[in-house]
Amino acid sequence: MTKGKTTKITKSIVDRLQPNQIVWDSEVKGFGVRRQTNAKKYVLKARIKGRQKWFTIGEHGSPWTVVNARKQAQRLLADIYAGKDLVALREAKRDQVLISDLCDRYLKDYAEIHKKPSSYNTDRKNIQNHVLPLIGNIPVQDVTREDIDRFKNDIRNGKTAAKNPDGKREYRGGAVVTGGPGVANRCLALVSKMFNLAERWNLRPDGSNPAHQVTRFKENKCERYLSTEEFERLGEILNRLKDTDQENPYAIAAIRLLIFTGARLGEILNLKWEHVDLEKEVLNLPDSKTGKKSIFLSPPAVEVLRNLPKLKNNPFVIVGGKEGKNLINLQKPWNRIRKLCGLEDVRIHDLRHSFASIAVASGMSLPVIGKLMGHKKSVTTERYAHLASGTLQTANKEIGKQLSDILSWQKT
């Protein structure tokens, strides 16, 4: 191993490390990073009782970024200065199960078996981007409610916001890792589930979940509903683009299906022809967000499907650019289309909300709307209850008129 230089260790320094090279940090004495053949590991060198000791912090990656490794080195140095026997502590901790170990087991023994691939990938990314960097190195049995409170606050405040290591944008998660209350709440729910499993796996005492009674953040959920005039503008643009080559025809078809069915984006993009029954006017989805689901088709939705060509060796309805694959993201075409319509604030998911709002305005009951939308719980549909006030007022006036007519008839 070559004698190392001293500089501030950064990710770019780590990325450029050559085999058998070591670099010492100029900010924290004794903290360094070294590369042997391929692996790059963070280390700490310190004197204990007059003898030099080396400690391996961990391999570069997740959870050991430069920032996290430097903080761990500072914690170790503080323990050394406090007179703690780090060698004994290190031996004792070898047999402890860390949060990082629990994450591995959760993904392998639970999520991979019980969750859909998209949900599994979401959990995997949240673990990689938020859980491991913040609490991955803590023993499972040592995590407290205070740790979880700090964990959720750090995520909300953007402490883990960064770019993914590969820098690539993927479906259901982009290259930019964000924080905020919504992400914090989802990560809180994730670790709560993992601690429930830790109790089942005898890694913690029963009833000791540190995420229980940790309050979630309030989220400002902005639900946007298109007006009749806005739907007309959107329809005009879609009709105009349909007869040109300015936009992907499959993207246009997908947007039309979202409008006419109220389906979720993933349900339409992952739709296969084997799920389509045009004779019975229904989509039979084997694995939607809420399990098996039937989506009934209105005549306009049937027309969209009848006009779509089936490509040989491609099972998908909404065809993508790669042979045999589906279109995996509508964001770019939707951005172009909504700009043409002057609807820049309308998200794709707002088409689903707008479908429900039209149903409410038509006088349909919330249970019926819940069935149409594929809601598993009635509380999900209740978000649209306030939209029914106008319909209820109209119905109330009609009932009052009929009763008044009856009473007037009785008087005569």
Run of H or E including 52: strand 51-59
pLDDT of residue 167: 47
320: which DSSP letter?
-
By DSSP bridging, strand 21-25 and strand 5-7 are parallel
Instruction: Kindly report, residue by residue over 76-110, the tens digit of the pLDDT.
Output: 888 888 887 766 656 555 557 889 999 999 999 99
pLDDT of residue 370: 65
Instruction: Kindly report, residue by residue over 198-219, the tens digit of the pLDDT.
Output: 999 988 888 999 999 899 988 7
- Reply yes or no on whether the pLDDT at 223 is more than 80: no
Q: Which domains does the chain have, with CATH numbers?
A: 11-95 (3.30.160.390), 99-201 (1.10.150.130), 228-393 (1.10.443.10)
Structural contact between residues 353 and 259, judged by C-beta atoms closer than 8 angstroms: no
* Highest-confidence segment of 18-32, 376-390, 398-412: 18-32
Structural contact between residues 290 and 305, judged by C-beta atoms closer than 8 angstroms: no
pLDDT of residue 170: 41
In the chain, the percentage of residues whose pLDDT exceeds 70 is 78
- Reply yes or no on whether the pLDDT at 32 is more than 90: yes
Burial of 328 (0-12, 13-18, 19+ CB in 10 A): middle
Single-letter code of the amino acid located at 287: D
Cα dihedral 353→356→360→366 (10° resolution)? -110
Distance CA 339, CA 341 (A): 5
pLDDT of residue 209: 95
Ramachandran angles phi, psi of 288, nearest 5°: -85, -175
Instruction: Kindly report, residue by residue over 296-318, the tens digit of the pLDDT.
Output: 888 888 999 999 989 988 999 99
Structural contact between residues 227 and 265, judged by C-beta atoms closer than 8 angstroms: no
Listed in sequence order, the residues at least 6 apart from 262 whose beta carbon sits closer than 8 Å to its beta carbon are 351, 352, 355, 356, 359, 372, 373
Instruction: Kindly report, residue by residue over 114-161, the tens digit of the pLDDT.
Output: 888 888 999 999 999 999 999 998 888 888 999 999 999 999 998 887
Identify which of 271, 297, 305 has the alpha carbon closest to the alpha carbon of residue 285.
271
